[in-house]
Amino acid sequence: MRVMNSSITKKILAGMSMALILAACATKGDRAALPGETATPSFAEVQGKLWALEEVVTESGGIIINRRKLEADGMGDAFTLTVDAERISGKGAPNRYVSPYTVGENQEISISPIAGTLMMGLVEPEGLQEREYYNYLEQANQWLLTGDRLELYSETSEGDPVIMVFTLY
């Protein structure tokens, strides 16, 4: 029996280990997370909860939504989002809205044009216009859930990136 050179043996074992790691990573979405791994959340974890917009992050800065001020002004439910199995809904400022959506692989999301009520708002709270909020929702293309934080990745009408950050309300 011939004994292999230990250097060659180590290289073969290292290659096999790497192949196993890559195979595990490639199928991670199809299996339960191993200890130390973070499982990709299911969109079902987003559904059935009321989300409140906390921040809009853009290349030129951001808008922080002051929930305490909105509550004090009687507009605590402004810029909220609820997701069920077929549509999103919520309240802009001050109109209610609804829209069907679809989710795809790799945390993709597509939100159809929004239908909303037509009450006239006297104020545009927190520097965010209601139509701008709706546009960001309609342009959303990815979602990310981390604990009690939902991020929707969108873009401006000029194509600049936008992140809408929601927390549980």
Asked if residues 93 and 65 have their Cβ atoms less than 8 Å apart, the reply is no
Q: Are 110 and 94 part of one and the same domain?
A: yes
Q: Are 78 and 130 part of one and the same domain?
A: yes
Q: Are 114 and 73 part of one and the same domain?
A: yes
Spatial separation of the C-alpha atoms in residues 120 and 49, rounded to whole Å: 27
Q: Are 138 and 158 part of one and the same domain?
A: yes
Place of tokens 């960001």: 136
**Beta strand 142-146 with 115-116: parallel, antiparallel or unpaired?**
unpaired
**Cα dist from 72 to 30, 55, 60, whole Å:** 46, 18, 28
Predicted model pTM: 0.76
Q: Are 156 and 93 part of one and the same domain?
A: yes
Place of tokens 């974890």: 45
**pLDDT-based confidence at residue 135 (cuts at 50, 70, 90):** very high
**pLDDT-based confidence at residue 33 (cuts at 50, 70, 90):** very low
Q: Are 30 and 51 part of one and the same domain?
A: no
What is the DSSP-derived secondary structure letter of residue 108? B
Q: What is the CATH number of the domain that holds 60?
A: 2.40.128.270
**Cα angle at 74 between 66 and 146, to 5 degrees?**
40
Q: Are 51 and 26 part of one and the same domain?
A: no
Q: Are 137 and 164 part of one and the same domain?
A: yes
Q: Are 96 and 110 part of one and the same domain?
A: yes
Polymer length in residues for the chain: 169
Q: Are 59 and 138 part of one and the same domain?
A: yes
Spatial separation of the C-alpha atoms in residues 87 and 68, rounded to whole Å: 28
Q: Are 70 and 10 part of one and the same domain?
A: no
Q: What percent of the chain has pLDDT over 70?
A: 73
Q: Tens digit of pLDDT for each residue in 49-89?
A: 999 999 999 998 889 999 998 899 888 999 999 999 999 99
Spatial separation of the C-alpha atoms in residues 70 and 107, rounded to whole Å: 31
Q: Are 63 and 115 part of one and the same domain?
A: yes
Query: At 28, which amino acid appears?
Result: K
39 pLDDT higher than 70: no
Specify the number of domains making up the chain.
2
- Domain containing 74 equals 43-168
Asked if residues 112 and 99 have their Cβ atoms less than 8 Å apart, the reply is yes
